[in-house]
Structure 1
């Protein structure tokens, strides 16, 4: 009598379970939050390292610059590597690199060690879990709600770096700079089991279809590279570089990186401290930027599913440029209403550019979009690296960050003009040989 009852209710119980894609998205979200938090440590430790070792802002900015540069340059190769050996192995290996670099940093006594550990090891590790990871996860696991999920995961990558700043600043001021560095290593190691158990490489690997897949829009195929990982990444770059869309996206995204991670993410805390604001208070303001960034980037993903992503980029860059031009007038020993307005506005706009940029890459380059976006994101980090180093040098020689803010604001208007010039066509694709479907 009970067997028919079990047979009738089992399907209903299965229907109530969430699609596995959402679990994958949650794990990816947590991984990206952690990866971003790992990169936030050097900006808060700039003054403690300067006091203990006498290292200049330019030297520490160079370590951050190397970190940001590798964070971007490794992205297209990690996207290719995920196609070859799988997401799980790449992300787990990246977390191990972060743990090694951050853990050994507590023993450093010389500048080259800072450049190697926080610059190279942590840069490569976090770069393997960057925005190309977002493009890979959303491209494989989602057909419906792809823009929205891209926005959520992008918010994780940016917000994590900022939300953890107050905690890192508190640990640094209370226990010394080595404690937050060691904490990052421990957290990175703790995330590895989560990745290995809950982050399948592809829906087909667990007998599923992507969320929202239909006969007209099927699950993106599982692919294997027909050539070496590095060679394929460079072939995609060579062919994508022949298109006008690629250069307009890459140029705008370079300015995006310079005006966010490179300038504000790295130098806002010391810039505010120059005007008498306590480090913990400045870090708290950046944390608020991260909180509002979640809302702004998720909303940007929602807009990207419904409106022209090119127009969205024009709006985002224009508003960001205006806000940077007025920032030098807002800095002071305490917060005021105009500064709160800047924090809210800048948070909403922080990385709202990512979902429309991903959408333009997917629309233009098809199955190769994750690798192409990896190269576009590399330009983002090149811009961030230049700004991280350049703003530090400006501060050392001019005694103020104000010129850096003004230059960055002007560049944002140029990025808006480049975005306006984009004419992406769905059928405009590169001629790189397609990966092999398996």
Structure 2
């Protein structure tokens, strides 16, 4: 596909750095998310060898799961919601102090996980619960003021994320590692529900823009009853787990949920434009999520692999590609640029996919183990992916299209 020229379009204007970071949520939180996603897993694998300097009762793997879900993906969630939600219901976006308060709480929440410092757990737990609660309350307030129901589904999923996070932190505070791992497992699956909602909102306008750049027509119109099929089936499977269904029944529910995401992937076949990277990355996010959930279900039905590998397929491949797609698409649109990714971003998509495959498939016995230390190659590709996107995006962080300041 042809790419737009590197850097902002001629009609864009520059804004000062300090103003840029507080102007829209994506300008502050997308880089924070990318840095955390790139550095934390790499340090954990390459520098600390799957350990943490101050880890005690809580296993380092539990810290790792928490930091990826509430650290890397948490910052992405804040940036996405504070940027997209005001547009969906036509309200002013949060700026300045409001964004820095959320960023401060998020940063304090990372203190304990950086080194596995159990002594900082209470402070970090309160900070994480603080930003999730503030985000949910802000969405509720906007919905009430506009008498809109468009944000209700996101509010419910974010509330579920808050519950999972609070219970995981409580388990960590009491030294109950297995309970913490269970609730973090559920928190990751809740994030997959949020991914499905985001894909439903993003895929339609992006696909229509690709099919008709003039935006005079809307040739892509997915079936409304299937737009949120994946998240709905994830919710059903999670409720089944909480109800104590047998592994076999929950396995079938997770296979059904995975099929819902595969259905979302199939909607990307829109003709020859399917080869556009904007379409492929959205299809890939849904496809990895679907395959991972189906692999999870198969594990509970007796497949010869555990649950950890397919979960990584869903959470690294599905969420990783989905988050990068949001970064790239929203980053270009909100900095006044047309669709069309530069080579570093397109390479980043491929590296995330490769990293997820290298992390999951050898453990599932589907490909040989790669050379070198365990999971190091996957961690290197993963870090390079988010670093490449950030390097590509950074020059345009200070730019936005003329007229966007009206919001």
| TM-score, reference length from structure 1 | 0.30
Q: Which structure would you say has the larger Rg?
A: 1
Q: Greater helix share, 1 or 2?
A: 1
| TM-score, reference length from structure 2 | 0.32
**Structure with more relative contact order (C-alpha pairs < 8 Å, separation 6 or more):** 1
